[in-house]
Each structure stands twice: as C-alpha cells, then as structure tokens.
Amino acid sequence: LLNTIPDTELLDIIQRSIEFLHSYPEILEKINDDQDQRAKEKKKLRLEDKKYRNQTSFLPGLTYSKQAIVAEDLNLLPGRERMKPQTVFMFMMIRGYFGSVTDQESIERMLDSQTLNVILQGWNIKMPGITTILENLNCVSNETREYLLDCQVKSIHANQLDSFKKIMIAAVKINFF
C-alpha cells in the first residue's frame, strides 16, 4: 500500500554505495567503458559467425574477405538498452552483501527484497533477469575493480578510518570488503 523503503541493512549498503559513487563518479565511466568493450567483443563474435556462414570459397571464382575483425575497431550502434553503470555498481555491492547473485538463496532474497524493488522502481527500472545481472557484473574488468578498491582506500583515508580498529568497524558498517 505504501511505497516506502523499509529501513534495512541492505538499504544502508545501497545508500552508502550511491554516496560513494557521488564522490567518485569516474567509476561509472569505467564500468560503462567495460560494458562497451564487452559489447564490441560480442559484436565481433557475431560478425565472425556471420562471415563463417557466408563463406563462398568452395565455389570457383568466388572469394571472401580474410581480413581479421578487431573488436576495438568496431562501432556500436543503438540496440537494446543495457543495464546502466549505476545499476551494475549497485548489484556489485549486493553481490558482496549476499555473497552471490546466482545461488538460490541470493536469487530469492533479491526477488523478495522490498528494499531493492522500491529502489529499482524509483529509478524506473524493472528487476533485471539473473543472467543479465551476472553478465553485466562479469563485464567489469579487473582494472575497474582495482580502481574501485583504490577509491575505497582513498575514502577510508579521507574519513580518517585508517587505524586497524577503525577499518574493521568501517568494513562491517560500510560493507566494502
């Protein structure tokens, strides 16, 4: 009846994650670049499959291009709308909180979460499929993950949470680790 967000630990994690993104918006750019790279790699595979199916070298006098397709050289055209980088980051944090996004318990928790449902509705997004979530999480490169960790360390130092005791408290409270 009421469209309010229940005050849960998951809400706290998502709110802190979004606040963190406001401090380091370049993380979203890096996630977007990773998504572009994955899209180009998939496009390359589709083009190579099409090229293979269209081979005509077995017909006398007909040849096909043997030029290699390079993913970085491909241009992406408008297609299906993909998951926004902010949503990918949120699901990265949820995976850290739940421990997975693909085991049965995590799937049930995400699907049953009123908190997650209200947040996604507020962003005008339907709950993505589990495979979609997983594919988007897997496209985030190790370099982006390392950059994210560096930003977390900077945030810890900026908030003067750099003693061992405070880091342990911050890790439990913020749930970055």
Residues 6+ apart with CB under 8 A from 95: 101, 106, 137
pTM: 0.71
pLDDT tens for each residue of 120-174: 988 999 999 999 999 999 999 999 999 999 998 898 888 877 666 655 555 555 5
Give dist(CA 90, CA 84) in Å, integer.
Answer: 10
